[in-house]
Amino acid sequence: MEKLNVGIIGLGAIGQKHCQALAQIEKANIAALADVNESTLLKTVKTYGGNAYEDYKDLLMQPDLDAVVVATPDEMHTEPCVAAAEAGKHILVEKPIATTVEDAMAVIAAAKKAKVKLMVGFSLRFNLHYLQAKKMVDDGKLGDVISIFARRLNIKTQADRINGRCGVLMFLGIHDFDALRWIVGSEPVSIYCEESTSVTKKYPQENETFSIIRFENGVRACAHIGWNLPLQHLGGRDFKLDIMGSKGALYLDQMRQGIEIYSETFSKYPSVSSGLYIEDKAFVDCVLDDLPSPSTGEDGLVALRMVIAAIESIKTCKPVTL
């Protein structure tokens, strides 16, 4: 059986999860790991194997390497992506593809030129719940889509973890902006966004927002994006997608997925979904079987444009045309 040799660049929280996922994929082989932090690097190599590199540029020179997962901090996606493309490696880059439109376009152009696969890590496209919702819509079970309400709320510690590196729209909202476009199947034409200002912010960026998005086909979507859930929230997350169609309504709710635990030491609504396994497997299959990328650089670019437009709308108090 043919196997894909994959290198992971950036071994922070999400990089670790990609290691975990790839280790379970039989057609994937973790062949190389790179991180600037030596101790993280060595610990990860110990667990998952592969060659260790402190500099990703050295990793890209490993001859048997087929593909890379770029999981560096958001604003550091562009360089390794462009370099990976130039080295002929297929690329799975974490969302956002980049933090500016120019950078995103550079990544797309480099991948196109090098004829390597480019996939953006929009994990909702590979999530069991969202996949079912997408299928129901595509199968016409709800008739024509009229409106969608999306929500992605996280607990406060998430904001602390990001620590002002970006706002909640870039970190969480981009998931829903992409998922909405993916499910609606039409391009966004404008976005209006407001940010709550009732409570003093800890970080300069927006942290609780409502956006209304107009799609070319007339669908209106609304996204409620924030990270103000209290620590005692049993889900630690409130992710929803409610679709109203001309013939039906679909409710997706990942706050509760069928298990609840109440205990003396902790209480929780655990998630039963499968993490990055399906996403990373889709990447591996896309490369090995030469399939189209299931979430392209262009998808990444549109979602990024939506985030930037929403932030502009907050400032201008007007809908922003995309």
187 is a contact residue toward its own copies (CB under 8 A): no
Least gap, CB of 108 to its own copies (angstroms): 29
Contact between residue 172 and residue 225 where contact means Cβ atoms under 8 Å apart: yes
Is 196 a binder of its own copies (CB under 8 A)? Answer: yes
Distance from C-alpha of 74 to C-alpha of 64, rounded to nearest angstrom: 27
Identify which of 226, 219, 224 has the alpha carbon closest to the alpha carbon of residue 154: 226
> Does residue 248 touch its own copies according to CB under 8 A?
yes
Smallest distance from the beta carbon of 4 to its own copies, in angstroms? Answer: 12
Rounded to 5 degrees, what are φ and ψ at 96? -75, 155
Q: What is the dihedral of CA 160, 161, 164, 166, to 10 degrees?
A: -130
Among 39, 46, 263, 292, indicate the residue that binds its own copies (CB under 8 A): 263
**Site residues for its own copies, window 120-149 (CB under 8 A)?**
128-129, 132-133, 136, 141-147, 149
Should residue 305 be labelled a site residue for its own copies when binding is judged by CB under 8 A?
Answer: no
Task: Kindly indicate which of the ranges 11-19, 59-67, 76-84, 191-199 contains the residues binding its own copies, using the contact rule CB under 8 A.
Answer: 191-199
Question: CA 60 to CA 51: how far, in whole Å?
Answer: 11
CA separation, residue 153 to residues 69, 133, 213, 231, 235 (Å):
26, 19, 18, 12, 10
Q: How far apart are CA 155 and CA 268, in angstroms?
A: 13
Which CB, 37 or 196, lies closer to its own copies?
196
From the number of C-beta atoms within 10 Å of its C-beta (0-12, 13-18, 19+), residue 297 rates as buried
Least separation in angstroms between CB 158 and its own copies: 14
For residue 233, give every residue at least 6 positions away whose Cβ sits within 8 Å of its Cβ, in sequence order, or none.
Answer: 155
Smaller CB separation from its own copies, 24 or 37 = 24
Residues in 21-50 at the binding interface with its own copies, rule: CB under 8 A: 26-27
In terms of CB distance, is 146 or 322 closer to its own copies?
A: 146
Region near its own copies per CB under 8 A, out of 8-16, 169-177, 253-261, 292-300: 253-261
> Counting contacts by CB under 8 A, is residue 316 touching its own copies?
no
Residue among 229, 287, 303, 320 that touches its own copies (CB under 8 A): 229
For residue 241 the two structure tokens come to 């997608």
Taking CB under 8 A as the rule, does residue 57 contact its own copies? no
Residue 20 interacts with its own copies (CB under 8 A): yes or no? no
